[in-house]
Amino acid sequence: MAQNIKFGDVDVQIPSFNFKKFGGFIPLLIIIFLASLSFYTVDANENGVILRMGKYSHTTMPGLQFKIPLLDRVYTVKVDKQFKMEFGFRTLKAGVRTEYSKRNFNQESWMLTGDLNIAEVHWIVQYKIKDAADYLFKVRDVENTIKDVSEATLRLMIGDRSFTEVLQAERRAISDSAKEHMQQILDKYETGIKITEVKLANVFAPEQVRDAFDDVVRAKEDKARIINLADAYKEDILPRARGEAAKKLEDAEAFRQERIALSTGESEKFLAILKEFRKAPEITQQRMYIEAMEQILPQINKIIGDPERIIISQSGTVGTIVPISE
């Protein structure tokens, strides 16, 4: 039966309910409500951490999961997401034209090198969550812990090397060593963090001395360039000099062999003539004289001797001596 309630000059009619009639639906509504609280979904890149009555119970994988209503509380953690921390600079907006913060981060970026120079170091730390429960409950502030560990590690690595090594040769070694050292410390603290990469973005001298340092760097680069040019000239001239020296040695050896062969032939010829000379000295002497005249006379236009005793043929090639008949 409806009831009338008067508010000032207005009568409000409130309908009455028969609670006995709807009493059978209350347990069903309670069951549906508890069932809605008993299931939850964990996304593909997440893990679910279950607290039962405020105490860690277990970790669930992606998918539809069950929990005890009113007793279990679920925290989801993105375990496959790549997180990034920047040191010495901050990216305001990434994209085609990346925007960086103009704030000064010298307190974290200035470091003392092993040769007592100051280097301004910008670096990036990338990490993932490998254990969701440790990440949530073992360390109070994981992000600040990573930040402190990263700064301490980089200062240790930079302090063991000279400025030139940090700037050029040791960049890859510093990144690898820093990653390994950071991981050891974070595992010891049970942070549940996995360091995926430590990358040195920029290393340069502080702004106050950057111009002077750049002059020194350019001078060293010029020195290295000149040394390289000298080495290139040396590598060009030395092989040619060695080649010319080898050629001269070969020519000298050929000339030696030629003179030896010529001398050997001359000596053998002389010995042969000597042998014949000993057999018939007068005939051999006359023949040698004729052969000598055959070589000399064609080259002259004068006749030396008694014209009544000899006649020289005027063929222009060979002179022949003949006796004059009386």
Greater pLDDT, 169 or 132: 132
pLDDT higher than 50, residue 37: yes
**What confidence category does residue 82 fall into, taking pLDDT thresholds of 50, 70 and 90?**
very high
Q: Which amino acid would we find at residue 209?
A: V
Q: What is the pLDDT at residue 295?
A: 79
pTM confidence score? 0.57
Distance CA 230, CA 265 (A): 52
pLDDT higher than 80, residue 46: yes
Distance CA 123, CA 89 (A): 8
Q: Which amino acid would we find at residue 203?
A: V
- Supply the DSSP string of 218-284, one letter for each residue: HHHHHHHHHHHHHHHHHHHHHHHHHHHHHHHHHHHHHHHHHHHHHHHHHHHHHHHHHHHHHH-HHHH
Q: Which of 43, 45, 46, 41 shows the shortest CA–CA distance to 67? A: 41
Q: Which amino acid would we find at residue 130?
A: K
270: left (phi over 0), alpha (psi -120 to 50) or beta: alpha
275-285: pLDDT as tens digits:
877 777 777 77
- Supply the DSSP string of 153-220, one letter for each residue: HHHHHHHTS-HHIIIIITHHHHHHHHHHHHHHHHHHTT--EEEEEEEEEEEE--GGGHHHHHHHHHHH
CATH number of 83-204, picked from 3.30.479.30, 3.90.1150.10, 3.30.420.10, 3.40.50.970? 3.30.479.30
pLDDT higher than 70, residue 101: no
pLDDT higher than 70, residue 239: yes
Q: Where are the domains of the chain?
A: 3-78, 83-204, 209-279, 281-326
Distance CA 98, CA 283 (A): 113
Q: What is the pLDDT at residue 97?
A: 59
117: left (phi over 0), alpha (psi -120 to 50) or beta: beta
**What confidence category does residue 315 fall into, taking pLDDT thresholds of 50, 70 and 90?**
very low
**Average pLDDT over all residues of the chain:** 80
